[in-house]
């Protein structure tokens, strides 16, 4: 039961690394999807919390942290699925309590974005929803289907464009090694189609947007974990992972040479930390990758990797 003066969390909670210093507010619990690699909803039944309780958590946060909270992340796995009027109510209330609030963020599945109209997305942006973290995972329709993503490359393109049109910053994530090590053909398709996806969503202005590559972690209890136990899924090794990423980077080619796509592959799951601007710093990124491929000893050891 929620105690009177404690912010409620349904553990375990998942948030993007860049929201490490944000106020976390539990708006939903779990996720309405069930991707084969993800453990977000393994122990949680999906629900949108009672908005009165969410507002109460915001009141507690105001008492505990004062009026100067600048960033809020609305949990859980796909809080964007929340009906627009409820999302607006929560974000607007947070903006009143925290007058210096710079942004609210959510995880959003592409299908959740596509269910909202352009006008609804614009209203959310104006209320304070400034960033959405979208799990693309891959640009390959074949691989997206294999991992039960319930979204296609074309959904990802449409959702990204609609999000950016509304002014909301896009942060898209892809998963290195998602196709497994027993399938070199799918690894190549994953890299090529993912690069094509990112090329196609590149906006024609110089706004900042983000693309991150995580590396697959086979988490206990997930469908991929079950396949691995049965010998149906083999993990890629660190060099195969870097080769796949190299193919992806090589194929990045934006029409807009002033694009500001902040590329990161520096999550705890990655073997080699990489950061750069696409596609301007493609050459540097490829040099780092080539160095990592030639010097296996500098890669993050398996036991230090995590989600």
Ligand X SMILES: C[S@@+](CC[C@H](N)C(=O)[O-])C[C@H]1O[C@@H](n2cnc3c(N)ncnc32)[C@H](O)[C@@H]1O
Q: Which is nearer to ligand X, 163 or 259 (CB)?
A: 163
- From the list ligand X, ligand SF4, none, pick the one residue 175 interacts with, judged by a Cβ distance below 5 to 8 Å according to partner type: ligand X
Helices 153-165 & 118-127 angle (0-180, nearest 10) = 50
Instruction: Out of 22, 25, 33, 105, name the contact with ligand SF4 by CB under 6 A.
Output: 33
Choices 2-10, 104-112, 152-160, 182-190; region in contact with ligand X by CB under 6 A: 104-112
Instruction: Give the single-character DSSP code of 173.
Output: E
| d(C-alpha 90, C-alpha 249), whole Å | 39
Question: Of 270-299, which residues contact ligand X (CB under 6 A)?
Answer: none
Q: Are strands 71-75 and 47-48 parallel, antiparallel or unpaired?
A: unpaired
105 binds ligand SF4 (CB under 6 A): no
Cα of first residue to Cα of last residue in the chain, in angstroms, is: 28
* Other CB atoms within 10 Å distance of the CB of residue 302: 10
- From the list ligand X, ligand SF4, none, pick the one residue 158 interacts with, judged by a Cβ distance below 5 to 8 Å according to partner type: none
H or E segment to which residue 261 belongs: strand 260-264
Strands, E assignment, 36-90: 47-48, 71-75
Return the closest-CA partner of residue 145 out of 133, 134, 158, 154.
Answer: 154
- From the list ligand SF4, ligand X, none, pick the one residue 34 interacts with, judged by a Cβ distance below 5 to 8 Å according to partner type: ligand SF4
Per-residue contact string for residues 143-182; x = within reach of ligand X by CB under 6 A: ------------------------------x-x-------
Which residues sit at the interface with ligand SF4, rule CB under 6 A? 31, 33-35, 38, 40-41, 77-78, 109, 135
Which residues sit at the interface with ligand X, rule CB under 6 A? 14, 31, 37-38, 40, 77-78, 107-109, 134-135, 137, 173, 175, 214, 216-217, 219, 269, 307
């Amino acid at each position: 039961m929620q105690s009177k003066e404690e912010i409620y969390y349904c553990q375990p909670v998942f948030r993007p690394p860049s929201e490490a210093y944000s106020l976390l507010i539990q708006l939903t619990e779990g996720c309405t999807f069930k991707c084969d690699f993800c453990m977000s909803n393994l122990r949680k039944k999906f629900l949108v919390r009672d908005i009165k309780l969410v507002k109460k958590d915001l009141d507690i946060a105001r008492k505990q942290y004062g009026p100067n909270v600048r960033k809020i992340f609305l949990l859980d796995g796909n809080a964007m699925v929340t009906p627009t009027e409820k999302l607006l109510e929560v974000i607007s209330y947070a903006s009143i309590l925290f007058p210096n609030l710079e942004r609210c963020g959510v995880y959003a599945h592409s299908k959740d974005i596509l269910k909202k109209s352009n006008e609804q997305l614009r209203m959310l942006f104006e209320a304070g929803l400034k960033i959405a973290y979208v799990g693309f995972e891959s640009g390959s329709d074949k691989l997206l289907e294999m991992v039960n993503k319930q979204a296609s490359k074309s959904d990802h393109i449409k959702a990204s464009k609609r999000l950016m049109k509304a002014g909301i910053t896009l942060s898209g994530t892809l998963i290195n090694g998602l196709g497994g090590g027993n399938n070199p053909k799918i690894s190549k398709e994953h890299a090529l189609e993912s690069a094509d996806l990112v090329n196609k969503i590149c906006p024609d202005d110089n706004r900042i947007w983000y693309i991150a590559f995580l590396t697959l972690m086979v988490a206990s209890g997930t469908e991929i974990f079950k396949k691995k136990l049965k010998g149906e899924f083999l993990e890629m090794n660190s060099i195969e992972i870097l080769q796949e990423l190299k193919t992806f980077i090589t194929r990045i080619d934006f029409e807009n040479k002033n694009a500001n796509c902040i590329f990161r592959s520096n999550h705890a799951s990655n073997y080699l930390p990489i950061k750069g601007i696409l596609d301007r710093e493609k050459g540097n990124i490829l040099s780092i990758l080539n160095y990592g491929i030639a010097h296996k000893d500098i890669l993050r050891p398996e036991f230090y990797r995590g989600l």
